[in-house]
Structure 1
């Protein structure tokens, strides 16, 4: 039973009702020795406390899509089948163009709270060795005969940590918000893709490749990207691809876009950070070498020093102390053709929450419309 599904929520409510009604019905009717009666009543009180805590957890989890499965919550689920050393480009010497298309079967998303039009598939990453679900939402124009020959730009959506790949649709309501705007033409049509990012037990991968452990970078930037190109009318050039993330996902979006200007043209980072060590569970933050190499500031400095500033557009938003300074640091380093737009969010807007990020969805996709081409 999914932790974010309606069945689990209704089950927790039913158990809470039982936990409240049961003591009222049998408290004075419990027979037996005094010790037995005391233990029975204590167990009923403990059961009531546990069910109440469970309901609160379910409400918070449903609102923020933190944990999708029991394996995610308990740290028993791993989605890594292999983690070969794939080298600096994350390709392991392989060429995608030389491999047959990876055609996938898609089914309706397994959670109705994600809204209409969201489909999902289970993808086995041929390069990364990662196995995980990928959610896809197509714009209203995709099946319009007038667009039958058009290739659409794509935005990969990354949640925070912990976080479910459902979060952008279930908590930020990205499809429900953008569908009408795209239909009216006030936002350009995009294919939205939300791949699993919680792929390693009890750890934030930091979206890096670590030989022998995980190839999170290649999962997102090679396997997921190519699967979308193989299965949909999606552009395959950098000008057609972007990333968007919040919190830990914001760090990933910035890091991946700057690391791979040959794959992505733009990225949005909401309430993120540059130093991966700011996430205590980050594998990149715990490794001194990776901590430096995966910092977007370092990536940008190194590219500038080599005389190759990436042709990357960044949009960074956040409150003071929650992403804003990270954006300012990147903007100070940016040299053409790199551009960095920084948007300060009021400290009174609501804090580090999905409600704050949800409000920014229309604006960031209007910005994407100025950066990407189909």
Structure 2
């Protein structure tokens, strides 16, 4: 049974309820002072608390998408093999392969030309040698005859760490929200490429090119846009790509837009931070290289590097987010530049969670769409 499956959650909850009821029922029989009665009481209490803890953990994991599988939870993911087959004209091979095709969750109808389509794909980077699964949302217009020669803008959408790409579809509702915004005339049709920044699990690379390690920045700045553009009708001109992310993904979105403005014309960070941490999940990202460490610090970049020609969006809340003061400071730093544009969403209150980001996503998609080109 999968970690995120209801077939796992429901038995765990039922077992916790049954054990709690059993504890209440048996407690009078175990009220004596003998070692057996004491041991029984201790055992029942520990078992009940353990099952309650497991049940709450499973519910939280389903709600927030921390881990996708048991292997992910215990750090045993090792699917990093790379096989690249290049057959001209064959879209079943190459740097992007479609593995599953489905509809937009929460929207009735099966015709792609009316509700769009969500494709699960494998993206294989020939330069970075990184392979990662992703979900691609194609808007209804992509399948309509009158748009058959049109190219579309695209945005990368990133989770936090560790995150699950599927949560962007099922929990944060990016495809459903984009579909509704387009129908309402609030944004142009846009392709979304949804994945997590943890492309070398279980390590958190903070979207950096790690010396003698995963070349994550190269994957997002070069391999991914090239693979998607070669497979789908995405615009090839400058200004065709945006990038959005929450938490760690938000930091990555800002950094990639600042470092690669020729690729990403807009970068939106939902609840981002502005400097790459170094901790147990990241390992030694920079191997003592001061230049790499400085480059991963967005404060340093704003002060010491030419301001990039890109548009940035940052979000926070006055109550509930730890990044509020840093976000206000970041806005002022960017405003002081001549070529980088900055926008913000500041909520009165909202924690670092899915509910807050769902409140920010519609305005974010509308903002990104307005800053990208497409023909």
Q: TM-score, normalised by structure 1?
A: 0.81
Q: Secondary structure at the match of 2:180?
A: helix
SS state of the match for residue 68, structure 1?
Answer: coil
Query: Which residue number corresponds to residue 344 of structure 1?
Result: 346
Cα root mean square deviation, aligned: 3.2
2:299 — aligned with what? 297
- 1:159 is the counterpart of 2:159: yes
Counterpart of 2:323?
322
Contact 1:276–1:285 (8 Å) recurs in 2: no
Structure 1 residues 285 and 358: CA distance shift in structure 2, 3 A: farther
Q: Residues 79 and 130 of structure 1 are in contact (CA less than 8 Å); yes or no, is this contact kept in structure 2?
A: no
Please say if 1:360 is aligned against 2:363. Answer: no
Change (3 A) 1:29 1:119: farther
Aligned length: 347
Query: How far 1:135 moved relative to its partner?
Result: 1.0
Structure 1 position 312, deviation (Å): 0.8
The alignment partner of 1:319 has SS state of: strand
In 2, Cα distance between the equivalents of 1:343 and 1:77?
Answer: 36
Larger displacement relative to structure 2 (122-131 or 158-167): 122-131
Alpha-carbon deviation of 1:192?
A: 1.0
Gaps of 5+ in 2: 83-92, 109-114
Relative to structure 2, which stretch is displaced further, 247-256 or 196-205?
196-205
Q: How does 1:114-153 map to 2 (within 5 A)?
A: 117-153=117-153
Is contact 2:164-2:195 (8 Å) kept?
A: no
**Deviation digits for residues 311-356 of structure 1 (CA, Å, limit 9, x no counterpart):** 21111122355152353254244222x212233332xx22222211
Q: Deviations over 1:219-269 (max 9, x none)?
A: 222232222212221223331101101111111001111111221111001
- SS in structure 2 opposite 1:251? helix
Name the CA distance, whole Å, in 2 between partners of 1:284 and 1:237.
37
2:103–2:118 CA contact under 8 A, matched in 1: no
Provide structure 1 residue ranges, at least 5 long, that are not aligned to the other structure. Answer: 83-99
Tell me the SS of whatever aligns to 1:345: strand
The separation in 1 between residues aligned to 2:164 and 2:107, in whole angstroms, is 12
Deviates more, 1:248-257 or 1:161-170: 161-170
TM-score (normalizing by structure 2)? 0.81
Q: Does 1:335 align with 2:333?
A: no
Task: Give the alignment of 1:11-90 within 5 angstroms.
Answer: 11-23=11-23, 39=39, 42-81=42-81
User: Is the CA contact (8 Å cut-off) linking 1:276 and 1:294 kept in structure 2?
Assistant: yes
Between the aligned partners of 1:279 and 1:211, the Cα distance in structure 2 is 17
- Which residue is 1:208 aligned to? 208
Give distance in 1, aligned partners of 2:198 and 2:103.
18
